[in-house]
Amino acid sequence: MIGTLAGRPGVGLGTFLGLVVCSLIACHGGQGRDERRLTVAGDPECRECRIELAHLATLSDATDTVGVLPNAAGRECMVGRLSTGEFVLSGVAGGGFLAVYDATGKPVRTIGRRGAGPGEFRSPLRVAVGSGDSLYVLDDANSRIQVVSAAGAYARVFPTRDRFRSFTLLPDDRLLLFRLPKSRTDRLFHGFDRDGRQVMSFGAPQQPDTALDLENWLVSRAPRGRFWTASHWSYELRRWSAPDSLDLTVIRRADWFPSPSVFPAEVYRTAPPPPMLLHAWEDDSGRLWTYTAVADREWRPGMGMRVTPEWQEKTFDTIIEVIDLPSGRLLASHRYPTRLAPVCGNALMYTVIELPDGELRVRVLEPRLIRAGNAR
C-alpha cells in the first residue's frame, strides 16, 4: 500500500481521499432494511478501562537459519497461530516456505519448498489458520491458494485470477477476499467455499477508471458467520450477514482521523502519511477492536521512505480502540509507538524488530482490555 501511494506522482492525496469519501456509501448500495447505524465520537467513556499489549512471543533465536522480511510489518497475515500455541510465519526472506515456531518463539520446523507444485510456494506469502489447524496459504506469485496441514501435508489447491489485497477466513473455512478492480464492472469483494468455488461477489468500485488502483479495503470476520468491510481511508465500518444484508454501520468521529481533504499531496515527502484503518476484529462479547496506522508524533519532512523496521518505527504509530457495539460506547484507546500488522482471523498483531547485531525478529502481541484489574 505504501508503494501504491508513493508511486503515483501527480495524484493529489487530497483528491484521492476525497474520491474515497464520496464513494463509501455508494460502493455497497443502499441502506438495508435491518441496518443499525452507530456513530461514536469523543474520548473513551470507560474510566477504569485500558488496553494492554501482552507480549506472546518473539519468533526466531540465534539458532534459527530463517531470515525475516524487513517489510513484514507492512503486510497483513504473515503470522498465524495454531491451536497448539505454535506460530506459523510466512514472511520469510526469500520466500518459498513457511516457518513454524513453538509458543515461546523457538524454531520447530519448516513447511514446503520453493516451486509451483503441490506443497511448494513462492513469495510473497500470506497465511490464515482454518479448522483443524489447516493452513490457507495465499501465494501471489503462483496465483493460487494452497491448503496444507500444520505438519505440511498437502490437501488441495485452487487458482486465484488476480492478486488479492486483503483476505480472511469465515466459519466453515469460507474465504472472503478483496481484489483490486481492473474495471468499473468488477466487484470488490469475493467469497469462496473451502474447495475454491466462488459463492459471493459484491461491492462496486467508485473510483474513476484512471484511479482504480486506489481502491483499498479491508475484510474481517465477525461472530455468527458475519463479516466486516471498510475502506482503509475512512473510519467507517460495515458489518454484513450476507452480501445483500447489511446489518450494522459504525462511524467513528475522531480528531486524529480528520476529513481526508486536509492532507497535502506530497505524502511521505513533505507531508506525513494519512491515517489508515488496518484491521477490525469483533470479539464474542460484542466489542469491536480497530487498528489504525497514524503518523508518528515525531515525523518530519525529509525522512524518506525505506520500508525497514527503523523506518516503520519512526514513521508510524498504531492506535487501537475498543468500541462496545451494544451500547455504542468507546471503551478505550491506546497508541502504540510503531506500525503493527494484523494476524488473519483474530485479534493478534505483530511487528518486526531489529536487534543490535542487525538480525530481525517478529514480535507477536495480544491486545487485551483491562477493566478494574481484569483482562478481557
Measure the CA–CA gap between 206 and 217, rounded to whole angstroms.
12
If you search the block for the grid coordinates 506469485, which residue do you land on?
141
User: pTM, whole model, 2 decimals?
Assistant: 0.88
Domain containing residue 290: CATH number: 2.120.10.30
Work out the burial of residue 97: count CB atoms within 10 Å of its CB; fewer than 13 is exposed, 13-18 middle, 19 or more buried. buried
Q: What is the per-residue pLDDT across 13-66, written as a single tens digit (0 to 9) for each?
A: 444 344 444 444 444 444 445 689 999 999 999 999 999 999 999 998 888 889
Joined grid coordinates for residue 282: 469483533
Measure the CA–CA gap between 131 and 170, rounded to whole angstroms.
10
Would you say 274 and 232 are in contact if contact means Cβ atoms under 8 Å apart? no
Q: How many CA atoms lie within 13 A of 10 on its CB side?
A: 2
CA 9 to chain centre: 26
Give the bridge partners for 340, in sequence order.
Answer: none
Joined grid coordinates for residue 221: 470476520
Per-residue pLDDT of the chain (376 residues; tens, 9 = 90+): 444 444 343 444 444 344 444 444 444 444 445 689 999 999 999 999 999 999 999 998 888 889 998 888 888 999 999 999 999 999 898 789 999 999 999 999 999 999 999 999 998 899 999 999 999 999 989 999 999 999 999 999 999 877 788 999 998 899 999 998 988 899 999 999 999 999 999 998 877 787 787 788 999 999 999 999 999 989 999 999 999 999 999 999 999 998 553 455 678 888 888 999 999 999 999 999 999 999 999 999 888 788 889 999 999 999 999 999 999 999 999 999 999 999 998 899 999 999 999 899 999 999 999 988 565 6
- Which residue from 227, 120, 245, 244 is spatially nearest to 172, judged by alpha carbons? 227
Q: What is the per-residue pLDDT across 155-191, written as a single tens digit (0 to 9) for each?
A: 999 998 777 889 999 988 999 999 989 888 999 999 9
φ and ψ at residue 319, rounded to 5 degrees: -100, 125
- Other Cβ atoms within 10 Å of 3 Cβ, number: 11
Q: In the chain, how many domains are there? A: 1
The shares of helix, strand and coil residues in the chain, as percent rounded to the nearest 5, are 10, 45, 45
Quote the pLDDT of residue 123: 85
- Other Cβ atoms within 10 Å of 253 Cβ, number: 13
Joined grid coordinates for residue 55: 507480549
Measure the CA–CA gap between 11 and 30, rounded to whole angstroms.
29
| Domain limits for position 133 | 2-375
Joined grid coordinates for residue 192: 469462496
Q: What is the per-residue pLDDT across 337-348, written as a single tens digit (0 to 9) for each?
A: 999 999 998 899
CA 142 to chain centre: 21
